[in-house]
Amino acid sequence: MWTFAINESGLRTGSVTRAYPKGIAILLVRLNGAVHAVSSNCPHMGCSLGGAILTGTILTCPCHDWQFDITTGKFVSAAEIGLETYPAKIENGDVLINLRGETQ
């Protein structure tokens, strides 16, 4: 089931945008025409990634510099650790997120 996250006009390009579909903190990144959605809290010590720095596809946590690939959610130093990822799409000017991970 797709859930409204934010209007497309509020989505930044090349940096992170926070949204709260159904009260869940999500980070959105628009890159190369695609929208990526990941959980907003770092799996290290729970810092908010709302102030994270995006360099290419790499998101760097502002607290202790852990880095994640925004396209996969994986921690670059240990792929078994990562951010939760969610399917995302834009439809009629709305950014929609599937909080259950379904793509249909």
Q: Which residue, 83 or 96, is less far from ligand FES as judged by CB?
A: 83
Q: Which residue, 46 or 93, is less far from ligand FES as judged by CB?
A: 46
**Angstrom distances, CA of residue 75 to CA of 22, 26, 54, 71, 82:** 26, 17, 14, 11, 5
List, in order, residues 6 or more apart from 70 with CB less than 8 Å away: 29, 31, 36, 38, 54, 57, 58, 59
Binding mask 55-94 for ligand FES (x = CB under 6 A): ------x-xx-x----------------------------
CB 69 within 8 A of CB 85: no
Q: How far is the CB of 41 from ligand FES (least distance, A)?
A: 8
Binding site for ligand FES (CB under 6 A): 42, 44-45, 47, 61, 63-64, 66
